[in-house]
Structure 1
Amino acid sequence: MSALTFLPAVENPELLAAPVAAAIAAMDATTAARIEVAAVDPALADTAAFCEAYGQSLDISANCLVVQGTRGGVTSTAACLALATTRLDVNGAVRRLLDARKATFAPMDDAVAQTGMEYGGITPVGIPSAWRLLLDARVAALPRAIIGAGIRGAKLFLPGVVLASLAGAEVIEDLAKPVA
């Protein structure tokens, strides 16, 4: 098992995608101080591999998924954050929240281009301001969550309340369903 070195995210922008570093730098000092970053092997960035290699729990790991909803030719985009032990309810809760006839995961190239982040590292911190941010209530309730840092070579560690305090964040009960 590899060890993690936790560092203040605001002081280590080299471990963050540029939009993530900018978002953290723009936060009030008290909030920014609650966010830590740790460098990880990019080959182990995927949630299950990361948790196994670094001895972290899937119960506190959250994945950010970019979803697009379409109705009448109008497409809206949302970053959705759900625990790794759950499955995002794209065709139910997310589709309804986006008031969409159809909801799908955004194409990888679109998500990467629009966020300025790496695939497999996309995080809700620093997403485009026009996007909605939907957080499963289980993530918002965590004392300490693990999420992407915008790059595959790092992870952010922060309280769920910090995620819930991000601009435009909407905490949603049952945004995701537990995986059996």
Structure 2
Amino acid sequence: MRAPIGDFDDARPALDCLDLLTAPVAAAVRAWRGTVPADRILYVDTDPAIADTAVFVEHYGQRLLDESANCVIVAGRRGETTTLAACVVRSGTRVDVNGVVRRELGSRKVRFAPVETATGDTGMEYGGITPLGLPADWPVLVDAAVVDTEWVLVGSGRRRGKLILPGKAFAELPGAVVLEGLGLAPEPQTG
């Protein structure tokens, strides 16, 4: 089947591709109970060499900046307590770590989690982290713009392959908190 977004000729229900997903992502797809039917979570095969956003959109088209999302793992700290959370924003934006995220987590300081923490605690590959299949006690902060997008391309848990699902499904993820202004416009480039 043809994908609803992007130039992907071979989109398949993720339920038919569980062996191509990491264990936590496959388990999340298998257990999906949202109002969006599980068979609308699609898998498309992509080259792992171009998994990073800038290279990916250069290859598949700039329009995917508005139809794809990045999932980044952050660590919020207050005193001796560290809270890990996922932030999901459109690929053409950056996460408001020092504003929206810090306030939502009640943290004094928030930083991007080290790669070893992000991959080790999620069971996913760096460059493919997705909000499906994250640890159950993690908040999943989702920018409202992602939820308002008809179809969204996001990581599959691996650098190879992506998932495509309706934006409204992100609001139904375990631990999801939909926030206005989580994704900020990129900072202007100075020459």
How does the TM-score come out when normalised to structure 2?
Answer: 0.89
CA contact (8 A) 1:63 1:83 kept: yes
* In structure 1, distance between residues paired with 2:17 and 2:33: 16
* In structure 2, distance between residues paired with 1:107 and 1:145: 26
In structure 2, runs of 5+ residues without a counterpart are: 1-5
State the partner residue of 1:28: 33
State the partner residue of 1:45: 51
Identity of aligned residues (%): 48
Which shifted more, 50-59 or 167-176? 50-59
Distance 1:14 1:52, change over 3 A: farther
Q: Deviations over 1:50-86 (max 9, x none)?
A: 2222235211111001001000110001100001111
Calculate the aligned-residue CA RMSD, in Å. 1.6
What SS does the aligned partner of 1:66 have?
A: strand
CA contact (8 A) 2:8 2:44 kept: no
What SS does the aligned partner of 1:82 have?
A: strand
State the partner residue of 1:137: 144
State the partner residue of 1:151: 158
CA contact (8 A) 1:58 1:83 kept: yes
- For residues 32-111 of structure 1, what are the structure 2 equivalents within 5 Å? 32-55=38-61, 57-111=64-118
CA contact (8 A) 1:140 1:160 kept: yes
* In structure 1, distance between residues paired with 2:33 and 2:108: 38
How does the TM-score come out when normalised to structure 1?
Answer: 0.95
Moved over 6 A (4+): none
CA contact (8 A) 1:2 1:53 kept: no
State the partner residue of 1:126: 133
CA contact (8 A) 2:137 2:175 kept: no
What SS does the aligned partner of 1:95 have?
A: helix
Offset at residue 34 of structure 1 (A)? 1.2
Aligned length: 180
* In structure 2, distance between residues paired with 1:51 and 1:144: 16
Q: Deviations over 1:6-35 (max 9, x none)?
A: 010011012211100100000138521110
* In structure 1, distance between residues paired with 2:37 and 2:57: 25
In structure 1, runs of 5+ residues without a counterpart are: none
* In structure 2, distance between residues paired with 1:140 and 1:103: 24
* In structure 1, distance between residues paired with 2:169 and 2:147: 8
